[in-house]
Amino acid sequence: MENKELGFSWLPEKLHEECGVFGISDADGHDCANIAYYALYALQHRGQQSCGIAVNDSGNIVCTKDMGLVNEVFNEKILSHLKGQMAVGHVNYSKYSKASAGYRESIQPMVRKYKKGTLTIANNGSLINAAQLRDMFESEGAVFHGTSDAEVIAHVIAKERISSASVEEAVKKMMKIIKGAYSMIVMSPQKMIGCRDPYGIRPLALGKLGNSYLLASETCAFDAIGAEFIRELDPGEMVVIYNNEVTSIRDNVTDNRGICVFEYMYFARPDSIIEGTSVYEARKNAGKVLAQEHPVEADLVFGVPDSGLCAAIGYSEESGIPYGYGLIKNRYIGRTFIQPTQSERQNLVKIKLNVLADAVKGKRVVMVDDSIVRGTTIRDIVRLLKEAGALEVHVRISSPPFKWPCYFGTDVPSKENLIACQMELDDIAKAIEADSLGYLSIEGIKKLLPGRTGGYCQGCFTGEYPIPVPTQNEKDERRIYTHER
Protein backbone atom coordinates (compact mmCIF):
# COMPACT_ATOMS: atom_id res chain seq x y z
CA MET A 1 0.00 0.00 0.00
CA GLU A 2 1.74 3.11 -1.11
CA ASN A 3 1.02 6.60 0.01
CA LYS A 4 3.83 8.60 -1.43
CA GLU A 5 1.84 11.74 -0.91
CA LEU A 6 2.40 11.33 2.80
CA GLY A 7 5.92 10.02 2.42
CA PHE A 8 4.67 6.75 3.87
CA SER A 9 5.41 4.32 1.06
CA TRP A 10 7.77 2.58 3.45
CA LEU A 11 4.95 1.96 5.91
CA PRO A 12 2.92 -0.34 3.75
CA GLU A 13 1.26 -2.45 6.38
CA LYS A 14 -1.81 -0.51 7.27
CA LEU A 15 -5.26 -0.41 5.78
CA HIS A 16 -7.04 2.88 5.43
CA GLU A 17 -10.56 3.99 5.89
CA GLU A 18 -11.79 6.89 3.93
CA CYS A 19 -13.38 9.50 6.13
CA GLY A 20 -14.71 11.09 9.28
CA VAL A 21 -17.54 13.63 9.45
CA PHE A 22 -18.71 16.21 11.95
CA GLY A 23 -21.56 18.72 12.07
CA ILE A 24 -22.85 21.35 14.50
CA SER A 25 -26.12 23.26 14.41
CA ASP A 26 -25.59 26.03 16.92
CA ALA A 27 -28.15 27.37 19.38
CA ASP A 28 -25.84 29.00 21.92
CA GLY A 29 -23.59 31.39 20.03
CA HIS A 30 -20.69 28.94 19.79
CA ASP A 31 -17.87 29.51 17.36
CA CYS A 32 -18.93 26.66 15.05
CA ALA A 33 -15.72 26.58 12.98
CA ASN A 34 -13.56 26.30 16.09
CA ILE A 35 -15.68 23.49 17.47
CA ALA A 36 -15.56 21.69 14.12
CA TYR A 37 -11.77 22.13 14.10
CA TYR A 38 -11.34 20.43 17.48
CA ALA A 39 -13.82 17.70 16.61
CA LEU A 40 -12.01 16.97 13.33
CA TYR A 41 -8.77 16.88 15.25
CA ALA A 42 -10.25 14.05 17.34
CA LEU A 43 -11.34 12.30 14.13
CA GLN A 44 -7.99 12.71 12.38
CA HIS A 45 -7.26 8.97 12.64
CA ARG A 46 -10.09 8.39 10.12
CA GLY A 47 -8.35 10.32 7.35
CA GLN A 48 -5.10 12.22 7.04
CA GLN A 49 -4.91 13.29 3.45
CA SER A 50 -7.31 16.21 3.23
CA CYS A 51 -9.85 18.02 5.35
CA GLY A 52 -12.35 20.84 5.22
CA ILE A 53 -14.90 22.88 7.15
CA ALA A 54 -17.95 24.56 5.60
CA VAL A 55 -19.83 27.17 7.67
CA ASN A 56 -23.34 28.37 7.04
CA ASP A 57 -24.05 32.00 7.91
CA SER A 58 -27.80 32.44 7.39
CA GLY A 59 -27.68 30.47 4.16
CA ASN A 60 -24.37 31.86 2.95
CA ILE A 61 -21.89 28.97 2.83
CA VAL A 62 -18.13 29.50 3.07
CA CYS A 63 -15.87 26.47 2.84
CA THR A 64 -12.13 26.05 3.44
CA LYS A 65 -10.58 22.74 2.47
CA ASP A 66 -7.23 21.49 1.30
CA MET A 67 -4.76 18.65 1.30
CA GLY A 68 -3.18 18.08 4.70
CA LEU A 69 -3.85 17.37 8.34
CA VAL A 70 -6.37 19.44 10.28
CA ASN A 71 -3.67 21.52 11.99
CA GLU A 72 -1.93 22.10 8.66
CA VAL A 73 -4.99 23.26 6.74
CA PHE A 74 -6.45 25.45 9.49
CA ASN A 75 -5.00 28.16 11.69
CA GLU A 76 -6.52 30.87 13.86
CA LYS A 77 -6.68 33.36 11.00
CA ILE A 78 -8.47 30.97 8.65
CA LEU A 79 -10.89 29.88 11.37
CA SER A 80 -11.63 33.52 12.27
CA HIS A 81 -13.03 34.00 8.76
CA LEU A 82 -15.37 31.04 9.10
CA LYS A 83 -18.40 32.44 10.88
CA GLY A 84 -21.85 30.92 10.93
CA GLN A 85 -24.60 29.16 12.83
CA MET A 86 -23.89 25.72 11.36
CA ALA A 87 -20.71 23.96 10.33
CA VAL A 88 -19.88 20.70 8.61
CA GLY A 89 -16.40 19.18 8.66
CA HIS A 90 -14.69 16.27 6.98
CA VAL A 91 -11.36 14.41 7.15
CA ASN A 92 -10.43 12.16 4.29
CA TYR A 93 -8.02 9.44 3.38
CA SER A 94 -7.56 8.62 -0.28
CA LYS A 95 -5.10 6.26 -1.88
CA TYR A 96 -5.05 8.62 -4.84
CA SER A 97 -2.45 11.37 -4.92
CA LYS A 98 -3.18 15.04 -5.52
CA ALA A 99 -1.85 14.48 -9.03
CA SER A 100 -4.81 12.16 -9.75
CA ALA A 101 -7.38 13.76 -12.03
CA GLY A 102 -10.21 15.29 -10.04
CA TYR A 103 -8.67 14.53 -6.66
CA ARG A 104 -8.49 18.11 -5.40
CA GLU A 105 -12.05 18.75 -6.57
CA SER A 106 -13.17 15.73 -4.57
CA ILE A 107 -12.08 17.09 -1.17
CA GLN A 108 -15.08 17.39 1.12
CA PRO A 109 -17.26 18.97 2.35
CA MET A 110 -18.75 19.20 -1.12
CA VAL A 111 -20.60 22.50 -1.64
CA ARG A 112 -22.90 22.75 -4.65
CA LYS A 113 -25.31 25.45 -5.73
CA TYR A 114 -28.51 24.27 -7.39
CA LYS A 115 -32.00 25.45 -8.18
CA LYS A 116 -33.17 25.41 -4.55
CA GLY A 117 -30.12 26.97 -2.92
CA THR A 118 -26.86 25.46 -1.70
CA LEU A 119 -26.15 21.92 -0.57
CA THR A 120 -23.20 20.92 1.55
CA ILE A 121 -22.33 17.25 1.89
CA ALA A 122 -19.80 15.39 4.02
CA ASN A 123 -19.87 11.62 3.61
CA ASN A 124 -18.14 8.61 5.08
CA GLY A 125 -18.46 5.41 3.08
CA SER A 126 -18.52 4.19 -0.46
CA LEU A 127 -21.45 3.59 -2.82
CA ILE A 128 -21.66 0.48 -4.96
CA ASN A 129 -23.89 2.09 -7.59
CA ALA A 130 -22.00 5.39 -7.91
CA ALA A 131 -20.70 4.51 -11.39
CA GLN A 132 -24.17 3.79 -12.74
CA LEU A 133 -25.62 6.95 -11.22
CA ARG A 134 -22.78 9.03 -12.52
CA ASP A 135 -23.19 7.52 -15.97
CA MET A 136 -26.90 8.30 -15.88
CA PHE A 137 -26.31 11.94 -14.95
CA GLU A 138 -23.53 12.37 -17.48
CA SER A 139 -25.81 10.93 -20.17
CA GLU A 140 -28.24 13.70 -19.27
CA GLY A 141 -25.51 16.30 -19.69
CA ALA A 142 -24.33 16.74 -16.11
CA VAL A 143 -20.73 17.85 -15.58
CA PHE A 144 -18.77 16.42 -12.66
CA HIS A 145 -15.82 18.29 -11.17
CA GLY A 146 -14.21 15.45 -9.24
CA THR A 147 -14.43 11.76 -8.55
CA SER A 148 -16.12 11.45 -5.17
CA ASP A 149 -19.37 9.74 -4.33
CA ALA A 150 -20.39 12.93 -2.51
CA GLU A 151 -20.70 14.71 -5.84
CA VAL A 152 -22.94 11.94 -7.18
CA ILE A 153 -25.02 12.21 -4.00
CA ALA A 154 -25.30 15.98 -4.48
CA HIS A 155 -26.69 15.39 -7.98
CA VAL A 156 -29.23 12.86 -6.69
CA ILE A 157 -30.46 15.19 -3.94
CA ALA A 158 -30.59 18.18 -6.30
CA LYS A 159 -32.63 16.21 -8.81
CA GLU A 160 -35.03 14.80 -6.22
CA ARG A 161 -35.40 18.19 -4.55
CA ILE A 162 -37.12 19.55 -7.67
CA SER A 163 -40.13 17.31 -7.07
CA SER A 164 -39.96 17.37 -3.25
CA ALA A 165 -41.59 19.72 -0.79
CA SER A 166 -38.51 19.87 1.44
CA VAL A 167 -34.84 18.97 1.47
CA GLU A 168 -35.50 16.14 3.94
CA GLU A 169 -37.97 14.61 1.52
CA ALA A 170 -35.30 14.78 -1.20
CA VAL A 171 -32.74 13.13 1.12
CA LYS A 172 -35.29 10.44 1.99
CA LYS A 173 -35.74 9.69 -1.72
CA MET A 174 -31.98 9.73 -2.20
CA MET A 175 -31.67 6.99 0.42
CA LYS A 176 -33.83 4.74 -1.79
CA ILE A 177 -31.64 5.44 -4.82
CA ILE A 178 -28.06 5.23 -3.59
CA LYS A 179 -26.70 1.80 -2.54
CA GLY A 180 -23.74 0.95 -0.36
CA ALA A 181 -22.19 2.41 2.76
CA TYR A 182 -22.81 5.99 3.79
CA SER A 183 -22.94 7.96 6.99
CA MET A 184 -23.49 11.47 5.82
CA ILE A 185 -24.23 15.01 6.88
CA VAL A 186 -26.20 17.20 4.50
CA MET A 187 -26.47 20.91 5.23
CA SER A 188 -29.09 23.03 3.48
CA PRO A 189 -29.37 26.78 4.04
CA GLN A 190 -31.55 26.17 7.13
CA LYS A 191 -31.26 22.52 8.14
CA MET A 192 -28.69 19.95 9.06
CA ILE A 193 -29.51 16.35 8.19
CA GLY A 194 -27.68 13.23 9.24
CA CYS A 195 -28.36 9.84 7.67
CA ARG A 196 -26.96 6.36 7.82
CA ASP A 197 -27.35 3.66 5.17
CA PRO A 198 -29.96 0.95 5.82
CA TYR A 199 -27.28 -1.49 7.02
CA GLY A 200 -25.44 1.06 9.13
CA ILE A 201 -22.07 -0.01 7.76
CA ARG A 202 -20.33 3.15 8.97
CA PRO A 203 -21.05 4.75 12.35
CA LEU A 204 -22.77 8.07 12.97
CA ALA A 205 -23.65 9.52 16.38
CA LEU A 206 -25.82 12.35 17.67
CA GLY A 207 -24.54 14.61 20.44
CA LYS A 208 -25.32 17.84 22.24
CA LEU A 209 -23.21 20.77 23.39
CA GLY A 210 -25.32 23.04 25.56
CA ASN A 211 -28.44 23.43 23.43
CA SER A 212 -26.63 22.79 20.15
CA TYR A 213 -26.98 19.48 18.33
CA LEU A 214 -24.01 17.68 16.83
CA LEU A 215 -23.33 14.77 14.51
CA ALA A 216 -20.05 12.87 14.36
CA SER A 217 -18.55 9.69 12.98
CA GLU A 218 -17.30 8.75 16.42
CA THR A 219 -18.17 9.66 19.98
CA CYS A 220 -14.54 10.59 20.73
CA ALA A 221 -15.24 13.83 18.81
CA PHE A 222 -17.90 14.74 21.40
CA ASP A 223 -15.51 14.03 24.27
CA ALA A 224 -12.89 16.28 22.70
CA ILE A 225 -15.21 19.30 22.73
CA GLY A 226 -16.89 18.59 26.06
CA ALA A 227 -20.17 17.56 24.45
CA GLU A 228 -22.66 14.94 25.53
CA PHE A 229 -23.19 11.77 23.50
CA ILE A 230 -26.94 11.28 23.06
CA ARG A 231 -27.26 8.19 20.88
CA GLU A 232 -26.27 6.65 17.58
CA LEU A 233 -28.42 6.86 14.51
CA ASP A 234 -30.06 3.55 13.65
CA PRO A 235 -29.23 1.98 10.30
CA GLY A 236 -31.47 3.67 7.72
CA GLU A 237 -32.39 6.49 10.08
CA MET A 238 -32.32 10.13 9.14
CA VAL A 239 -32.34 12.99 11.64
CA VAL A 240 -33.27 16.54 10.73
CA ILE A 241 -31.90 19.29 12.96
CA TYR A 242 -33.90 22.46 12.50
CA ASN A 243 -34.89 25.29 14.83
CA ASN A 244 -33.06 23.65 17.71
CA GLU A 245 -35.05 20.44 17.45
CA VAL A 246 -34.22 16.96 16.19
CA THR A 247 -36.76 15.02 14.13
CA SER A 248 -36.13 11.36 13.42
CA ILE A 249 -37.35 9.98 10.08
CA ARG A 250 -37.36 6.21 10.00
CA ASP A 251 -38.86 5.34 6.62
CA ASN A 252 -35.69 3.51 5.57
CA VAL A 253 -35.05 1.81 8.93
CA THR A 254 -35.04 -2.00 8.81
CA ASP A 255 -33.86 -4.77 11.10
CA ASN A 256 -30.72 -5.14 9.02
CA ARG A 257 -27.44 -4.56 10.77
CA GLY A 258 -24.15 -4.46 8.91
CA ILE A 259 -21.71 -2.37 10.92
CA CYS A 260 -18.15 -2.83 9.68
CA VAL A 261 -16.57 -5.10 12.27
CA PHE A 262 -13.22 -3.64 11.35
CA GLU A 263 -14.33 -0.37 12.96
CA TYR A 264 -14.01 -2.19 16.28
CA MET A 265 -10.79 -3.96 15.44
CA TYR A 266 -8.93 -1.20 13.77
CA PHE A 267 -10.44 2.07 12.48
CA ALA A 268 -12.19 3.67 15.39
CA ARG A 269 -10.46 5.19 18.38
CA PRO A 270 -10.52 2.92 21.45
CA ASP A 271 -12.27 5.65 23.44
CA SER A 272 -15.27 5.64 21.08
CA ILE A 273 -18.55 3.77 21.53
CA ILE A 274 -20.01 2.12 18.44
CA GLU A 275 -23.48 0.59 18.46
CA GLY A 276 -23.41 0.43 22.22
CA THR A 277 -20.04 -1.32 22.51
CA SER A 278 -16.85 0.30 23.70
CA VAL A 279 -14.17 -0.07 21.03
CA TYR A 280 -11.61 -0.55 23.80
CA GLU A 281 -13.61 -3.44 25.28
CA ALA A 282 -14.08 -5.03 21.84
CA ARG A 283 -10.32 -4.90 21.22
CA LYS A 284 -9.55 -6.26 24.65
CA ASN A 285 -12.06 -9.07 24.02
CA ALA A 286 -10.27 -9.83 20.75
CA GLY A 287 -7.06 -10.29 22.74
CA LYS A 288 -8.81 -12.58 25.21
CA VAL A 289 -10.23 -14.71 22.41
CA LEU A 290 -6.80 -14.84 20.79
CA ALA A 291 -5.33 -16.13 24.05
CA GLN A 292 -8.01 -18.86 24.16
CA GLU A 293 -7.58 -19.79 20.49
CA HIS A 294 -3.78 -19.52 20.31
CA PRO A 295 -2.25 -20.08 23.75
CA VAL A 296 1.52 -20.20 24.14
CA GLU A 297 3.99 -20.34 26.99
CA ALA A 298 5.77 -17.00 27.21
CA ASP A 299 7.23 -14.44 29.63
CA LEU A 300 5.91 -11.13 28.25
CA VAL A 301 2.98 -9.84 26.16
CA PHE A 302 3.09 -6.48 24.41
CA GLY A 303 1.25 -4.76 21.58
CA VAL A 304 2.60 -3.07 18.49
CA PRO A 305 1.85 0.58 19.26
CA ASP A 306 -0.75 1.87 18.96
CA SER A 307 -2.77 -0.63 16.98
CA GLY A 308 -2.09 -3.74 19.05
CA LEU A 309 -2.10 -2.31 22.59
CA CYS A 310 -5.70 -2.97 23.67
CA ALA A 311 -5.73 -6.54 22.33
CA ALA A 312 -2.39 -7.21 24.03
CA ILE A 313 -3.93 -6.18 27.38
CA GLY A 314 -6.75 -8.68 26.74
CA TYR A 315 -4.28 -11.43 25.79
CA SER A 316 -2.34 -10.79 28.98
CA GLU A 317 -5.46 -10.79 31.18
CA GLU A 318 -6.70 -14.06 29.73
CA SER A 319 -3.37 -15.88 29.61
CA GLY A 320 -1.87 -14.57 32.84
CA ILE A 321 1.35 -13.71 30.99
CA PRO A 322 2.62 -10.31 32.25
CA TYR A 323 1.84 -7.30 30.06
CA GLY A 324 4.56 -4.76 29.37
CA TYR A 325 6.30 -2.62 26.81
CA GLY A 326 8.37 -4.22 24.08
CA LEU A 327 8.35 -1.49 21.46
CA ILE A 328 8.43 2.30 21.64
CA LYS A 329 6.91 4.31 18.84
CA ASN A 330 8.19 7.59 17.47
CA ARG A 331 5.01 9.68 17.58
CA TYR A 332 6.32 12.56 15.54
CA ILE A 333 6.56 11.10 12.07
CA GLY A 334 4.28 13.14 9.87
CA ARG A 335 3.61 14.19 6.32
CA THR A 336 6.86 16.04 5.93
CA PHE A 337 8.97 13.03 6.77
CA ILE A 338 11.52 12.53 3.99
CA GLN A 339 11.06 9.20 2.32
CA PRO A 340 14.15 7.06 2.84
CA THR A 341 16.04 5.67 -0.13
CA GLN A 342 15.88 2.00 -0.96
CA SER A 343 19.34 1.41 0.52
CA GLU A 344 18.04 2.68 3.87
CA ARG A 345 15.11 0.30 3.75
CA GLN A 346 16.38 -1.95 6.54
CA ASN A 347 16.36 0.99 8.96
CA LEU A 348 12.84 2.08 8.12
CA VAL A 349 11.05 0.19 10.84
CA LYS A 350 13.66 1.35 13.37
CA ILE A 351 12.79 4.94 12.55
CA LYS A 352 9.19 4.30 13.48
CA LEU A 353 9.59 1.75 16.26
CA ASN A 354 12.40 0.94 18.63
CA VAL A 355 12.75 -2.23 20.65
CA LEU A 356 13.04 -1.96 24.43
CA ALA A 357 15.98 -4.34 24.58
CA ASP A 358 16.04 -4.56 28.38
CA ALA A 359 12.41 -5.67 28.39
CA VAL A 360 12.69 -8.43 25.78
CA LYS A 361 16.23 -9.75 26.21
CA GLY A 362 16.27 -13.41 27.22
CA LYS A 363 12.47 -13.64 27.11
CA ARG A 364 9.84 -15.54 25.14
CA VAL A 365 7.54 -12.76 23.95
CA VAL A 366 4.01 -12.56 22.51
CA MET A 367 3.62 -9.60 20.18
CA VAL A 368 0.04 -8.60 19.33
CA ASP A 369 -0.97 -6.49 16.33
CA ASP A 370 -4.30 -5.81 14.67
CA SER A 371 -3.56 -6.99 11.13
CA ILE A 372 -1.00 -8.17 8.62
CA VAL A 373 -1.21 -6.81 5.10
CA ARG A 374 1.96 -7.62 3.18
CA GLY A 375 3.98 -8.94 6.09
CA THR A 376 7.17 -6.99 5.49
CA THR A 377 6.91 -4.61 8.44
CA ILE A 378 5.99 -7.30 10.93
CA ARG A 379 8.90 -9.42 9.70
CA ASP A 380 11.25 -6.47 10.26
CA ILE A 381 9.91 -6.02 13.80
CA VAL A 382 10.37 -9.73 14.57
CA ARG A 383 13.97 -9.47 13.37
CA LEU A 384 14.59 -6.43 15.57
CA LEU A 385 13.20 -8.26 18.60
CA LYS A 386 15.46 -11.25 17.98
CA GLU A 387 18.47 -8.99 17.43
CA ALA A 388 17.66 -7.44 20.80
CA GLY A 389 17.83 -10.84 22.44
CA ALA A 390 14.23 -12.13 22.49
CA LEU A 391 14.42 -15.94 22.70
CA GLU A 392 11.11 -16.56 20.92
CA VAL A 393 8.66 -14.22 19.20
CA HIS A 394 5.06 -15.40 18.96
CA VAL A 395 2.88 -13.18 16.78
CA ARG A 396 -0.85 -12.89 17.47
CA ILE A 397 -3.20 -10.94 15.19
CA SER A 398 -6.48 -9.61 16.58
CA SER A 399 -8.38 -9.94 13.29
CA PRO A 400 -8.83 -12.83 10.85
CA PRO A 401 -6.70 -12.79 7.67
CA PHE A 402 -7.79 -10.32 4.97
CA LYS A 403 -8.64 -12.15 1.81
CA TRP A 404 -11.37 -10.13 0.10
CA PRO A 405 -11.94 -6.61 -1.15
CA CYS A 406 -14.04 -4.04 0.68
CA TYR A 407 -16.72 -2.21 -1.30
CA PHE A 408 -17.70 0.08 1.54
CA GLY A 409 -14.87 2.52 1.94
CA THR A 410 -11.82 0.61 3.13
CA ASP A 411 -8.78 0.57 0.94
CA VAL A 412 -7.82 -3.13 0.93
CA PRO A 413 -4.87 -3.88 -1.36
CA SER A 414 -5.19 -6.25 -4.30
CA LYS A 415 -4.81 -9.98 -3.68
CA GLU A 416 -1.19 -9.98 -4.88
CA ASN A 417 -0.36 -7.64 -2.02
CA LEU A 418 -2.25 -9.53 0.68
CA ILE A 419 0.00 -12.13 2.27
CA ALA A 420 -2.99 -14.19 3.44
CA CYS A 421 -4.07 -14.63 -0.20
CA GLN A 422 -0.63 -15.85 -1.18
CA MET A 423 0.32 -18.26 1.61
CA GLU A 424 -0.99 -20.70 4.20
CA LEU A 425 -0.61 -19.92 7.91
CA ASP A 426 2.61 -21.89 8.45
CA ASP A 427 4.25 -20.26 5.46
CA ILE A 428 3.23 -16.80 6.67
CA ALA A 429 4.80 -17.58 10.06
CA LYS A 430 8.01 -18.59 8.28
CA ALA A 431 7.90 -15.54 6.02
CA ILE A 432 7.63 -13.16 8.96
CA GLU A 433 10.25 -15.23 10.87
CA ALA A 434 7.94 -15.74 13.88
CA ASP A 435 8.16 -18.79 16.16
CA SER A 436 4.40 -19.09 15.92
CA LEU A 437 1.51 -17.13 14.42
CA GLY A 438 -2.17 -17.03 15.30
CA TYR A 439 -5.01 -14.98 13.85
CA LEU A 440 -8.39 -14.39 15.46
CA SER A 441 -10.86 -16.87 13.96
CA ILE A 442 -14.03 -15.88 12.10
CA GLU A 443 -16.03 -17.53 14.93
CA GLY A 444 -14.00 -15.50 17.41
CA ILE A 445 -15.34 -12.24 15.95
CA LYS A 446 -18.71 -12.89 17.61
CA LYS A 447 -17.06 -12.84 21.03
CA LEU A 448 -15.74 -9.32 20.49
CA LEU A 449 -19.26 -7.99 20.77
CA PRO A 450 -20.91 -9.99 23.56
CA GLY A 451 -24.66 -9.57 23.79
CA ARG A 452 -24.93 -8.14 20.30
CA THR A 453 -27.95 -9.54 18.47
CA GLY A 454 -27.71 -7.82 15.09
CA GLY A 455 -25.36 -8.70 12.26
CA TYR A 456 -22.22 -7.01 11.06
CA CYS A 457 -20.09 -6.89 7.95
CA GLN A 458 -17.04 -9.16 7.94
CA GLY A 459 -16.78 -9.30 4.16
CA CYS A 460 -13.04 -8.68 3.86
CA PHE A 461 -12.46 -11.82 5.95
CA THR A 462 -15.16 -14.09 4.49
CA GLY A 463 -16.11 -12.69 1.07
CA GLU A 464 -19.72 -12.51 2.30
CA TYR A 465 -21.17 -9.02 2.46
CA PRO A 466 -24.37 -7.68 4.01
CA ILE A 467 -25.54 -6.37 0.63
CA PRO A 468 -24.94 -7.78 -2.85
CA VAL A 469 -21.66 -6.38 -4.17
CA PRO A 470 -20.87 -5.38 -7.77
CA THR A 471 -20.11 -7.92 -10.46
CA GLN A 472 -16.75 -7.76 -12.21
CA ASN A 473 -18.27 -5.67 -15.02
CA GLU A 474 -19.71 -3.23 -12.56
CA LYS A 475 -16.37 -3.06 -10.76
CA ASP A 476 -14.67 -2.24 -14.06
CA GLU A 477 -17.22 0.47 -14.69
CA ARG A 478 -16.67 1.87 -11.23
CA ARG A 479 -12.95 2.02 -11.91
CA ILE A 480 -13.59 3.82 -15.16
CA TYR A 481 -16.05 6.25 -13.72
CA THR A 482 -14.43 7.07 -10.45
CA HIS A 483 -10.91 7.29 -9.22
CA GLU A 484 -9.01 5.83 -12.10
CA ARG A 485 -10.24 8.11 -14.82
Q: Is 126 a binder of ligand SF4 (CB under 6 A)?
A: no
Q: Is 260 a binder of ligand SF4 (CB under 6 A)?
A: yes
Least distance (Å) between residue 29 CB and ligand SF4: 39
The residue (of 37 and 267) whose beta carbon lies closer to ligand SF4 is 267
Q: Is 459 a binder of ligand SF4 (CB under 6 A)?
A: yes
Helices 309-319 + 279-293 axis angle, to 10: 50
- The site that binds ligand SF4 (CB under 6 A) totals a number of residues, namely 11
Q: How many Cα atoms occupy the beta-carbon half-sphere of 114 within 13 Å?
A: 21
Burial (CB < 10 A; 0-12, 13-18, 19+), residue 409, is buried
Q: Is 55 a binder of ligand SF4 (CB under 6 A)?
A: no
At position 48, the amino acid (one-letter code) is Q
Helices 130-139 + 149-162 axis angle, to 10: 60
- CB distance 20 to 124 below 8 Å: yes
Binding part of the chain for ligand SF4, among 257-265, 300-308, 369-377, 476-484 by CB under 6 A, reads 257-265
**Cα separation of 457 and 259, whole Å?**
6
Binding part of the chain for ligand SF4, among 4-12, 40-48, 79-87, 258-266 by CB under 6 A, reads 258-266
The residue (of 382 and 412) whose beta carbon lies closer to ligand SF4 is 412
Residues annotated as catalytic (active site), given as ranges: 19
**Cα separation of 310 and 8, whole Å?**
24
Render 156-176 in DSSP notation, one character per residue: HHHHHHHT-SSHHHHHHHHHH
Binding part of the chain for ligand SF4, among 67-75, 114-122, 353-361, 404-412 by CB under 6 A, reads 404-412
At position 335, the amino acid (one-letter code) is R
**Cα separation of 189 and 117, whole Å?**
7
Binding to ligand SF4 (CB under 6 A) within 144-203 occurs at 201
Binding part of the chain for ligand SF4, among 143-151, 224-232, 361-369, 405-413 by CB under 6 A, reads 405-413
Binding to ligand SF4 (CB under 6 A) within 200-219 occurs at 201
Least distance (Å) between residue 382 CB and ligand SF4: 26
Least distance (Å) between residue 17 CB and ligand SF4: 8
Residue 468 Cα to chain centre, angstroms: 21
Least distance (Å) between residue 258 CB and ligand SF4: 8
The residue (of 383 and 452) whose beta carbon lies closer to ligand SF4 is 452
Q: Please, which residues bridge with residue 61 across strands?
A: 56
**Cα separation of 165 and 196, whole Å?**
22
Least distance (Å) between residue 211 CB and ligand SF4: 35
Render 322-336 in DSSP notation, one character per residue: PB---EEE-TT--TT
Least distance (Å) between residue 180 CB and ligand SF4: 10
- CB distance 55 to 32 below 8 Å: yes
Q: Is 39 a binder of ligand SF4 (CB under 6 A)?
A: no
Burial (CB < 10 A; 0-12, 13-18, 19+), residue 382, is buried
The alpha carbon torsion through 248, 249, 255, 259 (nearest 10 deg) reads -70
Q: Which of 24, 406, 420, 429: binder of ligand SF4 (CB under 6 A)?
A: 406
- CB distance 43 to 220 below 8 Å: yes
DSSP character for 401?
P
Q: Which of 261, 273, 301, 381: binder of ligand SF4 (CB under 6 A)?
A: 261
Minimal CA–CA distance to 120: which of 79, 156, 80, 89? 89
Q: Is 458 a binder of ligand SF4 (CB under 6 A)?
A: yes
Q: Which of 41, 137, 182, 408: binder of ligand SF4 (CB under 6 A)?
A: 408
The residue (of 167 and 184) whose beta carbon lies closer to ligand SF4 is 184
Least distance (Å) between residue 150 CB and ligand SF4: 18
The residue (of 237 and 263) whose beta carbon lies closer to ligand SF4 is 263
Q: Give the x/- contact pattern for ligand SF4 in 438-457, rule: CB under 6 A.
A: -------------------x
**Cα separation of 462 and 458, whole Å?**
6
Number of residues in the chain? 485
The residue (of 432 and 457) whose beta carbon lies closer to ligand SF4 is 457
Q: Which of 10, 103, 262, 323: binder of ligand SF4 (CB under 6 A)?
A: 262
Least distance (Å) between residue 408 CB and ligand SF4: 4
**Cα separation of 376 and 366, whole Å?**
18
Binding part of the chain for ligand SF4, among 112-120, 254-262, 413-421, 435-443 by CB under 6 A, reads 254-262
Peptide bond into 380 cis (omega under 30): no
User: What is the radius of gyration, based on Cα positions, of the chain?
Assistant: 23
The residue (of 1 and 201) whose beta carbon lies closer to ligand SF4 is 201
Q: Which of 120, 147, 376, 410: binder of ligand SF4 (CB under 6 A)?
A: 410
Q: Which of 460, 467, 470, 483: binder of ligand SF4 (CB under 6 A)?
A: 460
Binding interface with ligand SF4 (CB under 6 A)? 201, 260-262, 406, 408, 410, 457-460
